[in-house]
């Protein structure tokens, strides 16, 4: 299973980015292979409107099965994620990526 | 780093006055971001120096190169916004009508039309009279605030906070319920709702709270002009309790608000008793965002 | 004749003036009040009437038909608003982001995105004696106010005679919605407060209405608080100061419960009468 995080940096200690649509990075962890890939989402700054669905499309392209984020995606982005079967967990605002993964495993994030 | 975002839905509730007061109380501990770009008035109280200006581009506008145009009229045919004008065979674009969809440029057989990113205003990184920094913006006529601009203002504020090792970014949020306010709230640690007990105040508060709730952001509420209408105030209190919104403060109707603004001061620099109340409210707010 | 009541910032008393003015004028002649602040329409809170007509206002958006679609990606490529996304197995359309420009639909090589109607708001028309009240309300989640404002203008033009006075309660600010609401107006009344905030926002609004080439005047609300900088600005700029609505706590209280001020506060009635006179003078041939 591939788990994606919205982050402000590219390593396990990076703080989470509470935003979805305009997140700075995606940090994608593949549980099976233990591989980590990051994606720089900063090009989204150029979009005046519709950042959410565009970012959601990117997340789907990255092959994520689960998204862990802070505030949660808005309506349009949520529509993309649910249409493609990505499960969303929110509430990881003030955590590092590592802490967010632990919280997810402990089941303390909101599904 | 924590983001405190002040929103109200409706204008005239005292949101900017209160945000500026918090900026004064927070002093050099807080970086200020003014995302109420349509009525950006906070600079009148905080006196930014407009030190660093950066042009802001957003949206596109079609421009017709008269040298290339053969006058076929295809652009006017496809435009759904009546933004292509023709005068004696010369085709031009009405800037206020053009939505920047780019359809005309795609179908022009002469390749005479280009879409140009519009310079719709500027944003500034300033030092304010509290000694801290503020990020604020100014738009040209007809230019819309957007999620993009708000995200830019907030990002610049966060960067300043990081460079200066500040813990709090204080955001004067955008009005309404559209994209700018979504972008204002996105990433917030706490939303501070400012309202008044009037029929329109409660109506607009409920609409903006829908967004706050959807994002799962913790919210507190300030009822300004609280004694204007006891029955609407009761409705407001009941709404806060029902939604588990933290009641932060109630302030009576007080013309000192206007007197302070007129003197170019924030309310906490003008009225000692209001200062005490607002100081109490600010400590509650900072405690809420730093408690975890 | 259309009279737009506008302001650079929210909360200055636009709706207060619009509702009281419409009510005042309706005592002598038929008048229409149109709430163009479709994102936050509040005029209805101050008025009552009998339901006359209601309709859903729609915009045109593309609808995806899977059958012939090859998922070539052209629609996403041509859309400047992120309103169409091409996913691995489907095309998704986001109606709130769509500007109804038709580019994706008409340039689709397989005609898989025909345009179809999508509701964006509700228009309500109420009647009370001499007063017609029209309000449009944008559905939550809709991003663009301007198309609904335009359709509201169309409804007004189709249902009322040109010479009838229509009071337009406009959205605040100087962005697209305000311009869409006021660009058809014969006269614009800018409402402001005598404070530095009010003056700052008034200047932006003046710049906008001048850009649009409108005849306009100013009403100072909450007169007596603040200072006289707004009045001086109007004098320096040769702008007609139409009336002043006094400041009082009682007015704020009546507003809070949704009451009409002209019934209870003579000074407001006098100020509103001055605005009415300005409108009638303008009708007769006009003063600038």
Express each pLDDT in B194-240 by its tens digit. 999 998 899 889 988 988 988 889 999 999 999 999 999 999 999 99
Contact between chains at A83 and C94 (C-beta distance less than 8 A): no
Confidence of residue B292 (pLDDT cuts 50, 70, 90): low
- The dihedral through the CA atoms of A71, B10, B15, B288 has a sign that is negative
- Regarding whether B32 and B91 lie in a shared domain, the answer is no
A-proximal residues of B, 12-51, CB under 8 Å: none
HSE at residue C181, side-chain half, CA atoms within 13 A, is: 29
DSSP 8-state secondary structure symbol assigned to residue C44? G
Q: Return the CATH number at B90.
A: 3.30.70.20
Sheet holding B168-172, edge to edge: B52-64, B113-127, B133-139, B30-34, B168-172, B2-7, B190-195, B219-223, B246-250
Q: Is residue B182 part of a domain?
A: yes
Name residue, tokens 């609004």.
Answer: C205
Q: Are the C-beta atoms of residues C246 and C219 closer than 8 Å to each other?
A: no
pTM, two decimals, is 0.84
pLDDT, tens digit only, all 111 positions of chain A: 999 999 999 999 999 998 999 999 999 999 999 999 999 999 998 888 888 999 999 999 999 999 999 988 888 899 999 999 999 999 898 899 999 999 999 999 988
Confidence of residue C111 (pLDDT cuts 50, 70, 90): very high
How many residues belong to chain C? Answer: 288
In percent, the amount of chain B with pLDDT more than 90 equals: 74
Interface check B148 vs A, CB under 8 A: yes
- Regarding whether B143 and B30 lie in a shared domain, the answer is yes
B221: tokens are 């509420």
Closest CA of chain B from C127, distance in Å: 22
Q: Is residue B232 part of a domain?
A: yes
Instruction: Please give the C-alpha separations between residue B187 and each of B5, B117, C249, in angstroms, as whole numbers.
Output: 9, 28, 38
Closest CA of chain A from B169, distance in Å: 14
Closest CA of chain A from B9, distance in Å: 19
- Regarding whether B115 and B138 lie in a shared domain, the answer is no
Contacts of B182 in chain A (CB under 8 A): 74
What burial class does residue B265 get, using C-beta atoms within 10 Å of its C-beta: 0-12 exposed, 13-18 middle, 19+ buried? middle
Contact between chains at A83 and C85 (C-beta distance less than 8 A): no
- The dihedral through the CA atoms of B105, C78, B177, C132 has a sign that is positive
| Cβ-proximal residues to C108 (8 Å cutoff; 6+ apart), any chain | C74, C75
Q: Are the C-beta atoms of residues B268 and B24 closer than 8 Å to each other?
A: yes
Contacts of A110 in chain B (CB under 8 A): 216
Contact between chains at B147 and A48 (C-beta distance less than 8 A): yes
- Regarding whether B40 and B89 lie in a shared domain, the answer is no
| Chain C residue nearest residue B145, CA to CA | C175
Interface ipTM > 0.90: no
Name residue, tokens 């829908």.
Answer: B210
Contact between chains at C175 and B80 (C-beta distance less than 8 A): no
- Regarding whether B155 and B91 lie in a shared domain, the answer is no
Name residue, tokens 């150029």.
Answer: A46
- Regarding whether B26 and B147 lie in a shared domain, the answer is yes
| Cβ-proximal residues to C176 (8 Å cutoff; 6+ apart), any chain | B142, B144, C145, C146
Rg for chain A (alpha carbons), in Å? 12
Confidence of residue B75 (pLDDT cuts 50, 70, 90): very high
Q: Which long-range contacts (CB under 8 A, 24 or more apart) does C203-210 make?
A: C203/C8, C203/C233, C204/B141, C204/C8, C204/C174, C205/C6, C205/C7, C205/C8, C205/C174, C205/C178, C206/C237, C206/C239, C207/B141, C207/C174, C208/B141, C208/B142, C208/C174, C208/C178, C208/C179, C209/C6, C209/C182
Name B122's bridge partners. B55, B138
- Among residues B119, B150, B168, which one ends one of the domains? B119
Q: What is the pLDDT of residues B139-155, one digit of tens each?
A: 888 777 777 889 899 99
Domain segments of chain A as ranges: 2-106
Domain residues for the domain of B69 are 60-119
**What is A2-106's CATH number?**
3.30.420.130
Instruction: For an interface test with B, give the residue of C6, C8, C11, C107 to mutate (most B CBs within 10 A).
Output: C11
- Reduced to 3 states, what is the DSSP secondary structure of residue C198? helix
- Among residues B76, B99, B119, which one ends one of the domains? B119
- Regarding whether B109 and B200 lie in a shared domain, the answer is no
Neighbours of B146 (CB within 10 A): 25
Confidence of residue C287 (pLDDT cuts 50, 70, 90): very low
Q: Return the CATH number at B212.
A: 3.40.50.300
Point out the residue among A49, A60, A79 whose CB comes nearest to the CB of C81: A49
Closest CA of chain B from C185, distance in Å: 16
Name C133's bridge partners. C33, C126
- Regarding whether B153 and B34 lie in a shared domain, the answer is yes
Q: What is the pLDDT of residues C30-65, one digit of tens each?
A: 999 999 999 878 888 888 889 999 999 999 999 999
Name A3's bridge partners. A29, A66
d(CA A6, CA A69): 5
pLDDT averaged over every residue in chain B: 92
Interface check B114 vs A, CB under 8 A: no
Contact between chains at B148 and A71 (C-beta distance less than 8 A): no
The pLDDT of residue B78 is above 90:
yes
Name residue, tokens 């706050």.
Answer: B212
Using left for φ > 0, alpha for ψ between -120 and 50, and beta otherwise, residue B166 falls in beta
Q: Is residue B53 part of a domain?
A: no
Contact between chains at A71 and B215 (C-beta distance less than 8 A): yes
d(CA A30, CA A89): 17
Q: Are the C-beta atoms of residues A71 and B217 closer than 8 Å to each other?
A: yes
- Regarding whether B25 and B168 lie in a shared domain, the answer is yes
Closest CA of chain B from A35, distance in Å: 28
Q: What is the pLDDT of residues C247-286, one digit of tens each?
A: 999 999 998 888 899 999 999 999 999 999 999 999 887 5
Q: Helices in B108-254 by DSSP H: which ranges? A: 147-163, 179-185, 199-214, 230-243
Point out the residue among B102, B145, B200 whose CB comes nearest to the CB of C103: B102
The pLDDT of residue C288 is above 70:
no
What burial class does residue C250 get, using C-beta atoms within 10 Å of its C-beta: 0-12 exposed, 13-18 middle, 19+ buried? exposed
- Regarding whether B265 and B235 lie in a shared domain, the answer is yes
Point out the residue among A47, A49, A80 whose CB comes nearest to the CB of C85: A80
d(CA B216, CA B252): 30
Domains in chain B, number: 2
Torsion angle (degrees, nearest 10) of CA B274, B275, B277, B282? 140
- Regarding whether B195 and B109 lie in a shared domain, the answer is no
- Regarding whether B142 and B36 lie in a shared domain, the answer is yes
């Amino acid at each position: 299973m591939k788990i994606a995080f919205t982050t402000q940096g590219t390593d396990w200690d990076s703080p989470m980015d509470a935003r979805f649509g305009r997140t700075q990075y995606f940090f994608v962890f593949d549980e099976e292979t233990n591989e980590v890939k990051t994606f720089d989402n900063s090009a989204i700054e150029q979009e005046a409107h519709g950042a959410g669905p565009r970012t959601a499309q990117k997340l789907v392209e990255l092959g994520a099965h689960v998204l862990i984020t802070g505030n949660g995606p808005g309506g349009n982005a949520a529509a993309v994620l649910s249409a493609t079967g990505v499960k969303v967990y929110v509430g990881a605002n003030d955590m590092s990526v590592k802490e967010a993964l632990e919280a997810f495993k402990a089941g303390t994030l909101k599904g | 780093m924590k983001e405190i975002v002040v929103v109200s839905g409706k204008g005239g509730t005292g949101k900017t006055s209160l945000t500026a007061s918090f900026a004064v109380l927070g002093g050099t501990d807080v970086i200020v971001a003014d995302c109420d770009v349509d009525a950006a008035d906070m600079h009148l109280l905080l006196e930014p120096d407009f030190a660093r200006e950066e042009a802001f581009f957003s949206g596109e506008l079609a421009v017709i190169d008269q040298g290339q145009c053969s006058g076929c009229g295809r652009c006017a045919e496809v435009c759904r916004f009546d933004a292509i004008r023709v005068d004696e065979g010369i085709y031009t674009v009405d800037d206020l009508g053009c939505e920047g969809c780019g359809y005309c440029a795609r179908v022009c057989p002469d390749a005479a039309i280009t879409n140009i990113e519009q310079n719709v205003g500027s944003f500034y990184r300033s030092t304010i009279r509290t000694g801290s920094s503020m990020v604020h913006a100014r738009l040209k006529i007809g230019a819309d605030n957007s999620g993009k601009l708000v995200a830019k203002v907030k990002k610049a504020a966060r960067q300043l906070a990081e460079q200066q090792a500040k813990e709090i970014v204080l955001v004067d949020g955008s009005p309404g319920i559209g994209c700018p306010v979504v972008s204002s709230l996105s990433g917030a640690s706490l939303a501070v709702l400012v309202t008044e007990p009037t029929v329109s105040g409660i109506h607009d508060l409920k609409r903006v709270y829908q967004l706050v709730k959807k994002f799962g952001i913790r919210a507190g509420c300030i009822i300004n002009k609280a004694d204007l209408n006891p029955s609407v105030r009761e409705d407001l209190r009941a709404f806060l309790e029902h939604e588990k919104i933290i009641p932060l403060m109630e302030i009576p109707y007080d013309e000192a608000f206007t007197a302070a603004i007129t003197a170019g001061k924030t309310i906490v620099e003008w009225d000692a008793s209001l200062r005490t109340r607002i100081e109490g409210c600010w400590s509650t707010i900072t405690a809420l965002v730093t408690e975890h | 004749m259309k009279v737009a009541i506008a302001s650079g910032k929210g909360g200055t008393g636009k709706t207060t003036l619009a509702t009281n003015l419409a009510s005042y004028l309706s005592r002598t002649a038929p008048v229409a009040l149109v709430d163009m602040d479709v994102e936050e329409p509040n005029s209805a809170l101050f008025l009552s009437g009998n339901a006359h007509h209601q309709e859903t206002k729609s915009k045109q958006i593309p609808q995806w038909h899977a059958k012939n679609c090859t998922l070539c990606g052209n629609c996403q490529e041509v859309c400047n608003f992120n309103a169409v996304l091409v996913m691995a197995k489907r095309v998704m359309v986001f109606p709130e982001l769509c500007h109804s420009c038709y580019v994706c639909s008409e340039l689709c090589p397989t005609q898989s995105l025909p345009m179809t109607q999508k509701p964006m708001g509700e228009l309500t028309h109420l009647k009370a004696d001499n007063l017609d009240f029209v309000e449009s309300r944008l559905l939550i989640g809709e991003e663009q106010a301007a198309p609904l404002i335009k359709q509201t203008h169309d409804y007004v033009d189709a249902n009322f005679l040109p010479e009838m006075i229509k009071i337009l309660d406009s959205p605040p600010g100087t962005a697209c919605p305000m311009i869409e609401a006021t660009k058809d107006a014969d006269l614009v009344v800018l409402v402001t407060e005598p404070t530095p905030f009010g003056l700052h926002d008034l200047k932006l609004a003046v710049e906008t209405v001048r850009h649009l080439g409108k005849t306009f005047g100013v009403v100072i609300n909450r007169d007596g608080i603040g200072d006289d900088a707004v009045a001086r600005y109007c004098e320096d700029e040769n702008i007609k100061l139409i009336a002043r609505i006094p400041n009082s706590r009682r007015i704020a209280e009546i507003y809070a419960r949704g009451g009409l001020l002209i019934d209870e506060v003579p000074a407001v009635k006098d100020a509103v009468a001055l605005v009415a006179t300005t409108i009638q003078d303008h009708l007769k041939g006009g003063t600038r």
